[in-house]
């Protein structure tokens, strides 16, 4: 039997959570609960804030467009988030939405857009990214909400990486064709990981050289086919989580 009820309605609240606390809902949240889910006063939802675990709360309806929640009892304690940074060349609109949601589901703890020579998108809507992060966390039982970091040029982003953070550089020219073999060869399991996925046109030679100079780096091939950037994100994180990450531990759903 599953240890977690995935059918429960979940809502992210940016407010302290404790037994007896009351929280007024934003207009969009109230509309979602009252008019989309058609909940009524006395109905229960699960709430989380990324800090205080998950709680069961009761709907206190005040009208068709406004509502309040009363926090009842805690159902899951807060778990420590992993340290998995996802670095990526921004994509356009719908494909970026998809990528952000899937990266959250796959356990990233922070997302950082980086601009490369061949990046197609010139701007990043961080508010939209944040909304997609929260939506994915709500739908997937995630307790720790990943951080959306500011965009940065690739050169600068790589220079700011901690020297002891493992950089997994997704590179079609990696010397080891088998990605599992490439990661399994590490002497110890790293505590801090960064996964770097480039744009549709790939990295330039200068960018490959730059990434290869990081103090702690593994070049990772993703197989014999050319993958779109959003597909590469899921593939890379699946391999990383299976070999080095929290897929190796049994228990409740991963908490990003």
Name the E strands within the chain: 10-12, 22-24, 44-48, 54-61, 67-76, 84-88, 110-115, 147-148, 152-153, 166-170, 193-197, 217-220
Asked if residue 246 has pLDDT above 50, the reply is yes
The distance from CA 67 to its chain's CA centroid, rounded to whole angstroms, is 29
Residue 252's pLDDT is what? 45
3-state SS class at 124: coil
3-state SS class at 36: helix
Q: Where in the chain is the domain with CATH 3.40.1280.10?
A: 84-248
Digit-coded pLDDT (tens) for 134-183: 999 999 999 999 999 999 999 999 999 999 999 999 998 888 889 999 99
Range 73-89 average pLDDT: 94
3-state SS class at 61: strand
CA distance linking residue 205 with residue 173, whole number of Å: 11
The residues that bridge with 166 in the sheet, in sequence order, are 193
Residue 2's pLDDT is what? 58
The CATH classification of domain 10-76, taken from the options 2.60.120.200, 1.10.10.2120, 3.10.20.90, 2.40.240.20 = 2.40.240.20
Residue 255's pLDDT is what? 40
Residue 3's pLDDT is what? 62
The band of 8, judged by pLDDT with boundaries at 50, 70 and 90, is confident
Residue 182's pLDDT is what? 92
Classify domain 84-248 by CATH number.
3.40.1280.10
CA distance linking residue 233 with residue 2, whole number of Å: 27
Backbone phi, then psi, for 102, in 5-degree steps?
-70, -35
Radius of gyration of the chain (CA): 20
The answer to whether the CB of 118 falls within 8 A of the CB of 200 is: yes
CA distance linking residue 118 with residue 200, whole number of Å: 8
Range 113-132 average pLDDT: 93
The answer to whether the CB of 99 falls within 8 A of the CB of 227 is: no
Q: Where in the chain is the domain with CATH 2.40.240.20?
A: 10-76
Asked if residue 113 has pLDDT above 50, the reply is yes
């Amino acid at each position: 039997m599953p240890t977690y009820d995935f059918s429960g309605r979940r809502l992210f609240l940016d407010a302290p959570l404790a037994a007896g606390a009351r929280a007024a809902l934003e207009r969009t949240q109230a509309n979602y609960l009252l008019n989309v889910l058609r909940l009524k006063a006395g109905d229960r939802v699960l709430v989380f804030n990324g800090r205080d675990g998950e709680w069961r709360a009761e709907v206190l309806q005040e009208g068709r467009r406004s509502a309040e929640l009363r926090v009842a009892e805690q159902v899951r304690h807060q778990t420590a988030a992993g340290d998995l940074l996802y670095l990526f060349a921004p994509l356009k609109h719908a494909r970026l939405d998809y990528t952000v949601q899937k990266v959250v589901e796959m356990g990233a703890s922070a997302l950082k857009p980086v601009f490369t020579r061949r990046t197609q998108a010139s701007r990043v809507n961080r508010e939209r990214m944040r909304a997609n992060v929260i939506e994915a966390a709500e739908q997937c039982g995630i307790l720790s909400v990943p951080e959306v970091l500011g965009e940065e040029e690739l050169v600068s982003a790589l220079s700011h990486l901690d020297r002891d953070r493992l950089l997994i550089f997704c590179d079609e020219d990696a010397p080891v064709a088998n990605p599992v073999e490439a990661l399994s060869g590490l002497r110890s399991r790293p505590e801090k990981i960064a996964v770097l996925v480039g744009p549709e046109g790939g990295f330039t030679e200068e960018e490959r050289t730059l990434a290869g100079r990081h103090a702690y780096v593994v070049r990772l091939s993703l197989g014999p086919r050319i993958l779109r950037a959003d597909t590469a994100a899921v593939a890379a994180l699946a391999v990383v989580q299976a070999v080095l990450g929290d897929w190796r531990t049994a228990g409740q759903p991963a908490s990003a």
